[in-house]
């Protein structure tokens, strides 16, 4: 070490007159020292000095150092001259190959870099890493991705690069690849914090909450990590997990920030249960309750949970509401079937601040209450009609059974906009209600042709078509379609209902038997069914969209719907409820709607049901706020 320092110092002072042979037997050692000290000029001077006089000294190690120096100095000419001297066919030196690849990449000669990589007989992890970095530098993410297939047992550094690349791609292919590497990773790598963070980031970006959650438990937790996981739970429509995470955060004594509260409000809006919303609002610090985005989100949340008075109270506090605030309130009125109030607010709003979402909200509100004429008037005055606006208007016409006009509107939209799947779905939903199987078949055929890649949308369309078959008594056709879907591994969305009791969120699936009080719930459902029949209820067989097996009856199938299970669950508590609130992810079926109206009347219990479309307030007289227009 001491010898080495003396040489470097003397060389810098005396230049060429200081020979290396007094200190070293090889040339690469002083070169590496100079490179480490970023004295790249000195490395090149040494090379020039000994290249001709002592050609035997010019080893692969020397060329590696020279390439490093010339690349650092962006000396393209010299770098390429050196490269010409290297014979790839006879070379096994992965250090030199990595330097060569790096050099080509630095001078934007990605093709040459690729050539070196492809022709080399052995490939080190550094070579893979260098090549991947090169691809990423040139935005060739797919090519980088293809290289991953060839990597075995990557080290930590290479894994970080792989995870970062997958995070950048943000698609299913990247997720599968990232998952594979993560699962094959040696367990001791889990101690590597930076590596675990990059894996966490990748799973978040690619939308895999299960893996992200698994890693989250193993890394030091900060507010930002909680927020990112909450965001993905909200996106995946798992709001109860966001709220659980908030409880965990409190347990870990981590102070939530504004972003966390916004995410929590969003989760509460998704769950839409007043008691849960109130509990969270009570924990928001007072200064944050004055924050504009928080207030607007709260209006949205109260609207989604059927607490219109609370939404109104907040809205009235705004001296000069902006578009987002107005839209949240109009949306709240619309969801709760209060179209007159929504229209009043819409007309109070200055025309200058109305935006795309304003029109979507107001048209939606008209759509859910059958105000077709008012919707038409508003629609005709909209200066710039987007696909969303056309879709809501199509939906409005469909709900009023004006299918011809709706189809014409789709044609009109497609003169100026590309075709849009939700527009066809609105039409198909309506055709389902009309039970027009021919038209339903025609629409599904059209959709398959126009949107061949929209797998999720096409699954929903097939499910709707199979419902139409079932409703029109063609159970065989319905079953075939359903079997085809199952065989192709495509899953339809399952019906879920959430409710809250004693501070806990309960989730029910159709025919759920997992609840600890399941037998009591089914006994209560039997009692409810008897009462319903006494009051003249006839179970709607056309609400059944599948064939009935030998051990089932129309009544048992319909009583297994998740919303009925959740309602029965409330009635088996020691105190009879006077108020029940539930939220479901799909649209309520005709039978559940009719049954809930009667249950509210018989049991003298106000019931609020939020479905995928609107909020139904069932009163003690057995009426629903939607006036059966759903
Ligand atoms: Zn139902
Ligand atoms: Zn209703």
Largest separation between any pair of C-alpha atoms in the chain: 113
Per-residue model confidence (pLDDT) at position 4: 64
Q: Give yes or no for a contact between 329 and 311, defined as CB atoms under 8 angstroms apart.
A: yes
pLDDT, greater one: 486 or 303 = 303
Per-residue model confidence (pLDDT) at position 39: 86
Q: 277-282 long-range contacts, Cβ below 8 Å, gap at least 24?
A: 277/301, 277/302, 277/305, 277/307, 279/503, 280/243, 280/246
Cα 185 to ligand 2 centroid, rounded to whole Å: 53
Give the pairing of strands 496-501 and 504-509: antiparallel
Query: Does position 324 have pLDDT exceeding 80, yes or no?
Result: yes
Query: Does position 311 have pLDDT exceeding 90, yes or no?
Result: yes
What's the CATH code of the domain at 108? Answer: 1.25.40.10
Q: In this structure, what are the phi and psi dihedrals at residue 552, rounded to the nearest 5 degrees?
A: -110, 160
Q: Coil, strand, or helix at residue 610?
A: strand
Per-residue model confidence (pLDDT) at position 380: 96
Euclidean distance between CA atoms 175 and 145, whole angstroms: 11
* Highest mean pLDDT, choosing among 402-411, 423-432, 551-560: 402-411
12-to-20, 32, 63, 106 alpha-carbon distances in Å: 12, 15, 21, 28
Q: Give me the number of domains the chain comprises.
A: 2
- Reduce the secondary structure of 275-310 to three states and give it as a string: HHHHHHHCCCCCCHHHCHHHHHHHHHHHHHCCCHHH
Ligand closest to 628 (CA) is 2
Ligand closest to 495 (CA) is 1
Percent of the chain scored above 70 by pLDDT? 95
Radius of gyration of the chain, Cα coordinates, nearest whole angstrom = 34
Q: In this predicted model, what pLDDT tens digit does every residue of 26-69 receive, in sequence order?
A: 788 888 888 988 888 888 888 888 788 777 778 888 889 999 99
Domain for residue 94, yes or no? Answer: yes
User: Lowest mean pLDDT: which of 157-161, 280-284, 565-569?
Assistant: 157-161
Per-residue model confidence (pLDDT) at position 545: 67
Q: In this predicted model, what pLDDT tens digit does every residue of 138-168 receive, in sequence order?
A: 888 888 888 888 888 888 888 998 998 888 8
Euclidean distance between CA atoms 327 and 449, whole angstroms: 36
Cα 29 to ligand 2 centroid, rounded to whole Å: 83
Domain boundary residue among 128, 162, 188? 188
Per-residue model confidence (pLDDT) at position 393: 97
> Residue 73 is encoded by which pair of tokens?
């100095």
Q: What is the mean pLDDT of residues 186-193?
A: 88
Residues in the chain, overall count: 630
pLDDT band at 88 (very low <50, low <70, confident <90, very high): low
pLDDT band at 489 (very low <50, low <70, confident <90, very high): low
Q: What is the mean pLDDT of residues 353-357?
A: 95
Ligand 2 ion: nearby residues, β-carbon < 5 Å: 616, 624, 626
Q: In this predicted model, what pLDDT tens digit does every residue of 125-138 receive, in sequence order?
A: 889 889 988 988 88
Q: Give yes or no for a contact between 460 and 492, defined as CB atoms under 8 angstroms apart.
A: yes
Domain for residue 349, yes or no? Answer: no
Domain for residue 52, yes or no? Answer: yes
Contacts of 349 (CB under 8 A, 6+ apart): 323, 326, 330, 358
Query: Does position 94 have pLDDT exceeding 90, yes or no?
Result: no
Q: Hunting for tokens 């970080």 — which residue is that?
A: 160
pLDDT band at 269 (very low <50, low <70, confident <90, very high): very high
Contacts of 108 (CB under 8 A, 6+ apart): 138
Q: In this predicted model, what pLDDT tens digit does every residue of 602-613 receive, in sequence order?
A: 999 999 999 988
Domain boundary residue among 144, 159, 188? 188
Q: Hunting for tokens 């799947």 — which residue is that?
A: 421
Ligand closest to 616 (CA) is 2
362-to-319, 347, 388, 394, 589 alpha-carbon distances in Å: 22, 10, 12, 14, 25
Cα 611 to ligand 2 centroid, rounded to whole Å: 9
Q: What is the mean pLDDT of residues 585-602?
A: 93
Task: Give the closest residue to 242 by CA, choosing from 214, 217, 262.
Answer: 262
Domain for residue 431, yes or no? Answer: no
> Residue 490 is encoded by which pair of tokens?
């495509």
Euclidean distance between CA atoms 338 and 329, whole angstroms: 11
In DSSP terms, 507 is beta-bridged to: 498
Q: What is the mean pLDDT of residues 502-511?
A: 90
Domain for residue 370, yes or no? Answer: no
Render 134-201 in DSSP notation, one character per residue. Answer: HHHHTT-HHHHHHHHTT--S--HHHHHHHHHHHHHH-SHHHHHHHHHHHHHS-GGGGG-HHHHHHHHH
Query: Does position 3 have pLDDT exceeding 60, yes or no?
Result: no
Cα 554 to ligand 1 centroid, rounded to whole Å: 12
455-to-43, 233, 479 alpha-carbon distances in Å: 59, 22, 20
Per-residue model confidence (pLDDT) at position 130: 92
> Residue 165 is encoded by which pair of tokens?
């690349």
Per-residue model confidence (pLDDT) at position 101: 92
Cα 591 to ligand 1 centroid, rounded to whole Å: 6
Q: Coil, strand, or helix at residue 581?
A: strand
Ligand closest to 613 (CA) is 2
pLDDT, greater one: 233 or 460 = 233
Other beta carbons within 10 Å of 318: 15
Q: What is the mean pLDDT of residues 406-412?
A: 95
Ligand closest to 615 (CA) is 2
> Residue 485 is encoded by which pair of tokens?
């879907």
Chain mean pLDDT for the chain: 88
Ligand closest to 584 (CA) is 1
Q: What is the mean pLDDT of residues 332-361?
A: 95
Euclidean distance between CA atoms 435 and 444, whole angstroms: 14
pLDDT, greater one: 378 or 486 = 378
Residues of the domain holding 559: 496-618
Q: In this predicted model, what pLDDT tens digit does every residue of 228-259 receive, in sequence order?
A: 999 999 998 889 999 999 999 999 899 999 99
pLDDT, greater one: 260 or 551 = 260
Q: Give yes or no for a contact between 363 and 373, defined as CB atoms under 8 angstroms apart.
A: no
Q: 547-553 long-range contacts, Cβ below 8 Å, gap at least 24?
A: 547/470, 547/475, 547/478, 547/479
User: Lowest mean pLDDT: which of 298-312, 388-402, 443-457?
Assistant: 443-457
Contacts of 416 (CB under 8 A, 6+ apart): 385
Domain for residue 131, yes or no? Answer: yes
Per-residue model confidence (pLDDT) at position 415: 93
Cα 510 to ligand 1 centroid, rounded to whole Å: 9
Q: Give yes or no for a contact between 345 and 329, defined as CB atoms under 8 angstroms apart.
A: yes
Percent of the chain scored above 90 by pLDDT? 51
Cα 374 to ligand 2 centroid, rounded to whole Å: 21
Q: What is the mean pLDDT of residues 192-205?
A: 91
Cα 456 to ligand 2 centroid, rounded to whole Å: 28
Contacts of 121 (CB under 8 A, 6+ apart): 92
Per-residue model confidence (pLDDT) at position 443: 93
Cα 616 to ligand 2 centroid, rounded to whole Å: 4
Q: Give yes or no for a contact between 332 and 297, defined as CB atoms under 8 angstroms apart.
A: no
Contacts of 342 (CB under 8 A, 6+ apart): 330, 333, 334, 361, 362, 365
Cα 592 to ligand 1 centroid, rounded to whole Å: 4
Domain for residue 583, yes or no? Answer: yes
Domain boundary residue among 188, 207, 235? 188
Cα 477 to ligand 1 centroid, rounded to whole Å: 22
Q: What is the mean pLDDT of residues 329-338?
A: 94
Cα 590 to ligand 2 centroid, rounded to whole Å: 9
* Highest mean pLDDT, choosing among 263-267, 468-472, 612-616: 263-267
Cα 586 to ligand 1 centroid, rounded to whole Å: 10
Ligand closest to 567 (CA) is 1
Strand (E) or helix (H) holding 546: none
Per-residue model confidence (pLDDT) at position 141: 83
Query: Does position 312 have pLDDT exceeding 70, yes or no?
Result: yes
Domain for residue 166, yes or no? Answer: yes
């Amino acid at each position: 070490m001491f010898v080495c320092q003396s040489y470097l110092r003397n060389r810098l002072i005396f230049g060429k007159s200081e020979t290396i042979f007094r200190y070293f037997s090889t040339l690469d050692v002083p070169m590496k020292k100079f490179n480490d000290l970023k004295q790249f000029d000195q490395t090149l001077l040494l090379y020039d000095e000994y290249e001709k006089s002592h050609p035997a000294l010019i080893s692969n190690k020397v060329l590696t150092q020279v390439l490093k120096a010339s690349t650092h100095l962006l000396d393209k000419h010299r770098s390429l001259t050196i490269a010409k001297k290297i014979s790839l066919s006879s070379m096994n030196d992965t250090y030199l190959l990595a330097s060569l690849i790096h050099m080509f990449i630095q001078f934007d000669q990605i093709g040459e870099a690729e050539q070196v990589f492809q022709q080399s007989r052995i490939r080190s992890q550094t070579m893979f890493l260098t090549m991947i970095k090169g691809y990423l530098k040139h935005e060739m993410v797919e090519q980088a991705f293809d290289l991953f297939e060839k990597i075995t047992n990557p080290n930590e550094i290479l894994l970080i690069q792989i995870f970062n690349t997958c995070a950048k791609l943000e698609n299913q292919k990247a997720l599968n690849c990232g998952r594979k590497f993560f699962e094959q990773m040696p367990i001791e790598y889990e101690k590597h914090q930076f590596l675990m963070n990059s894996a966490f980031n990748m799973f978040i970006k690619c939308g895999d909450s299960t893996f992200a959650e698994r890693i989250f438990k193993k890394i030091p937790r900060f507010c930002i990590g909680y927020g990112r996981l909450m965001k993905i739970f909200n996106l995946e429509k798992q709001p109860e997990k966001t709220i659980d995470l908030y409880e965990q955060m409190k347990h870990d004594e981590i102070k939530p920030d504004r972003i966390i509260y916004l995410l929590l409000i969003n989760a509460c809006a998704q769950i839409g249960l007043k008691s849960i919303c109130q509990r969270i609002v009570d924990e928001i610090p007072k200064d944050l309750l004055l924050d504009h985005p928080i207030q607007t989100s709260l209006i949205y949340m109260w609207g989604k949970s059927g607490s219109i008075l609370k939404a109104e109270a907040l809205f009235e506090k705004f001296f000069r509401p902006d578009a987002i605030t107005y839209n949240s309130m109009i949306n709240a009125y619309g969801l709760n079937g209060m179209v007159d109030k929504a229209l009043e607010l819409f007309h109070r709003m200055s025309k200058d601040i109305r935006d795309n979402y304003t029109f979507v909200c107001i048209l939606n509100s008209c759509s859910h209450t059958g105000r077709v004429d008012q919707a038409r008037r508003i629609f005709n005055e909209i200066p710039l009609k987007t696909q969303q606006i056309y879709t809501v208007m199509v939906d409005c016409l469909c709900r009023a059974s004006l299918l011809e006009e709706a189809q014409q509107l789709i044609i009109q939209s497609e003169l100026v906009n590309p075709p849009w799947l939700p527009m066809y779905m609105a039409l198909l939903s309506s055709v389902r209600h009309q039970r027009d199987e021919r038209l339903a078949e025609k629409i599904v055929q059209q959709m398959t042709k126009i949107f061949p890649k929209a797998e999720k949308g096409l699954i929903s369309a097939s499910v709707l078509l199979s419902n139409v078959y079932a409703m029109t008594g063609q159970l065989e056709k319905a079953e075939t379609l359903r079997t085809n879907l199952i065989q192709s591994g495509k899953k339809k969305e399952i019906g879920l209902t959430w409710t809250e009791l004693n501070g806990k969120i309960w989730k029910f699936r159709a025919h759920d038997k997992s609840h600890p009080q399941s037998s009591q719930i089914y006994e209560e459902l039997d009692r409810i069914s008897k009462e319903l029949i006494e009051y003249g209820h006839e179970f709607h067989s056309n609400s059944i969209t599948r064939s009935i097996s030998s051990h089932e009856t129309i009544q048992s199938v319909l009583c297994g719907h998740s919303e009925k299970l959740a309602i029965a669950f409330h009635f088996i508590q020691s105190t009879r409820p006077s108020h029940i609130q539930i939220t479901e992810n799909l649209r309520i079926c005709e039978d559940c709607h009719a049954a809930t109206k009667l249950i509210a009347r018989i049991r003298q219990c106000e019931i609020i049901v939020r479905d995928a479309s609107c909020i139904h307030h069932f009163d003690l007289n057995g009426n629903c706020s939607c006036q059966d227009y759903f």
